[in-house]
Structure 1
Amino acid sequence: MDRRELAAFLRSRRERIGPAAVGLPVGPRRRTPGLRREEAAQLAFISTEYYTRLEQARGPRPSREVLAGLARALRLSDAERDHLHHLAGTPPGPLPGPSREVRQSILDLLQRLPQAAAIVTSATYEVLAWNDLAAALMEDFSALPRRDRNLVRRAFLGPRKEGRRLYGVSDADAFARTCARNLRATAARYPDDPGVTELVDELRTGSDDFARLWDSHDVCAETTLCKTFQHPLVGSVTVACDVLDISDRDQQVVIYTATPGSPSEEALRLLSVIGTQRMDVIT
């Protein structure tokens, strides 16, 4: 355990977090840059005395539970979390769970693609971010609770109406198979995450198709370069499907684009005007 380096690292991470970022009032008398020690301790669920001793290089070796609390309170990246563990003399264990925090630069990128529908998905296929055209093409994700934004849950357990599922995409079965295979790999990367375990259990219980795919132990996903959405207002929309990996967050940016000059491009242009104002939730 490197007490001096650990103390300096904790202090530097604490001082970079503004109180507003964690829902605390700034207040006119605040002199400390970033969070106060007692605030960081409260967020980490440890005593102020214990946290103070850590920052003064006088504390005992923190347990894994304390380190997890510190990483959460100080909003550490995966690399910073690993560094924290090494400074404390405790090798990092498995990642706590799939990241749900999308970098601001990625959020900005989505808004700079006005002619493409784009979403960001987590390692468990939760839609974390989207642009306006994606909301118009698929559905208004902002109107859904978090659990209903999960594409693998929708693929296997979602409502069906007139034979349509998963926004009427042409590759619904192939996408479902890919989800099951990728989710098995995700479960191996995050063996201790209760959210992943609960999702897998729910899918295995609620879908015989998922249970069969899960029991096959396949992890090789199928590649889809093109798919067609059946939209209730503009009809068929055929798009190229490109997936960009955000490796440090274990996330993916999915971008749907239509061939220039095609009817599908005209349909996307119309959707960009219609938006979600006149749309019901697609089932």
Structure 2
Amino acid sequence: MSDNDLGTFLRGRREAVTPAEAGLPAGPRRRTPGLRRSELATLAGVSVEYLTRLEQGRDRNPSAQVLGALADALHLSLAERVLLRRLTERGACAEDPLVCAAAPPLSRTVRPTVRAVLDRLEPTPAVALNWIGDVLARNQGFERLAGPLGMLDGERPNLLRYVFTDERSRAAYPDWADEADDLVARLRHDVPLRDPYVTELADELTVTAGAEFADRFADLTLTPRRIGNRRVRHPRAGALHLLHETLALPEDGQWITVHLPADGATAAALDRLVGRRPGALRAVPAAG
């Protein structure tokens, strides 16, 4: 991870906000596509010199009031405001590692109760993951959904490696870029503040997947989705439209992802795939 994530994020968002969005005249001869540093400083009520220090990484611990003012001036969404606070915490760690607790050990197993939850969710496909995308446990519904896609191949399946290094993932996901964005956003932002496992995996995928991974990992505007939908081309079940929900297990650094059919055709296809009686899985309408 960069030593100046906070500055990179602020500069990127400043350049993305147009003068019109900030209520300012565009004016002639603008050298930046977004706001000038002086304009953002005025809108946020800070000095240009202080904003420069933040963007250059010479000050990494702004107050909550300054963060709030910058977030308002940049029209940040709730997810972006959470990210801004998290990047500030990372900056404080970089300045003084003693202010941050060491990251807990990376989990490679799940608790028996988590396995029981996965089993109780049958026949709905469900999987438990850790923060770098390792598949830790899954139920039979998920095995029958993901196995034929090649997602579970290998001794230690990992969703990021599958998406970025296995060509079958591009056939499986018609919206491959969205899947890649979401997985990298989780790796980038849903991890302990100091985590060597993330750095190790990021270095590996930068070598094996190149710019398709590295550019996403450098993009601080990507934020993970907790809910959403995905389309899957399944070699046995055909075209599937799935909704997914994420159930966080923060004390373990894990989460459970549950896949639900979004329409009747997908529900029927999943019923056939998991070998259950017709009607065991029912379509769940997406929120309008």
| Amino acid corresponding to residue 265 of structure 1 in structure 2 | A
Counterpart CA distance in 2 for 1:187 and 1:223 is 15
- Map of 1:234 onto structure 2: 237
Counterpart CA distance in 1 for 2:115 and 2:154 is 19
- Map of 1:39 onto structure 2: none
Residue 181 of structure 1: CA displacement?
Answer: 2.1
Note closer, same or farther for the CA distance 1:97–1:217 as it changes in structure 2 (3 Å cut).
Answer: farther
**Do the aligned partners of 2:233 and 2:240 also contact (CA within 8 Å) in 1?**
yes
Counterpart CA distance in 2 for 1:233 and 1:172 is 19
Residues 14-50 of structure 1, C-alpha deviations (whole Å, 9 max, x = no match): xxxxxxxxxxxxxxxxxxxxxxxxxxxxxxxxxxxxx
- Map of 1:100 onto structure 2: 108
- Map of 1:251 onto structure 2: 254
TM-score normalised per structure 1 = 0.56
State, as a whole percentage, how many aligned pairs show the same letter: 23
Residue 184 of structure 1: CA displacement?
Answer: 1.9
| Amino acid corresponding to residue 134 of structure 1 in structure 2 | F
Residues 199-239 of structure 1, C-alpha deviations (whole Å, 9 max, x = no match): 11011122211111122233522455222221111201212
Residue 121 of structure 1: CA displacement?
Answer: 0.8
| Amino acid corresponding to residue 179 of structure 2 in structure 1 | F
Counterpart CA distance in 1 for 2:249 and 2:243 is 19
5+ residue gaps in structure 1? Answer: 1-89, 275-283
- Map of 1:76 onto structure 2: none
- Map of 2:127 onto structure 1: 119
**Do the aligned partners of 1:94 and 1:190 also contact (CA within 8 Å) in 2?**
yes
**1:1-283 correspondence to structure 2 within 5 Å:** 93-139=101-147, 144-146=154-156, 149-160=157-168, 165=169, 168-186=172-190, 189-191=193-195, 193=196, 195-206=197-208, 207-218=210-221, 220-259=223-262, 262-273=264-275
Residue 190 of structure 1: CA displacement?
Answer: 3.4
| Amino acid corresponding to residue 175 of structure 2 in structure 1 | D
Counterpart CA distance in 2 for 1:157 and 1:247 is 28
**Taking CA–CA contacts closer than 8 Å with sequence separation of 6 or more, which of the two structures ends up with the larger relative contact order?**
1
Note closer, same or farther for the CA distance 1:259–1:222 as it changes in structure 2 (3 Å cut).
Answer: closer
- Out of 242-251 and 91-100, give the one that drifted further: 91-100
Counterpart CA distance in 2 for 1:182 and 1:143 is 22
Counterpart CA distance in 2 for 1:190 and 1:97 is 11
Classify the secondary structure of the residue corresponding to 1:221: coil
Q: CA RMSD in A?
A: 2.6
| Amino acid corresponding to residue 158 of structure 1 in structure 2 | D
**Do the aligned partners of 2:226 and 2:246 also contact (CA within 8 Å) in 1?**
no
5+ residue gaps in structure 2? Answer: 1-97, 277-288
**Do the aligned partners of 2:242 and 2:261 also contact (CA within 8 Å) in 1?**
yes
Counterpart CA distance in 1 for 2:158 and 2:255 is 14
**Do the aligned partners of 1:98 and 1:190 also contact (CA within 8 Å) in 2?**
no
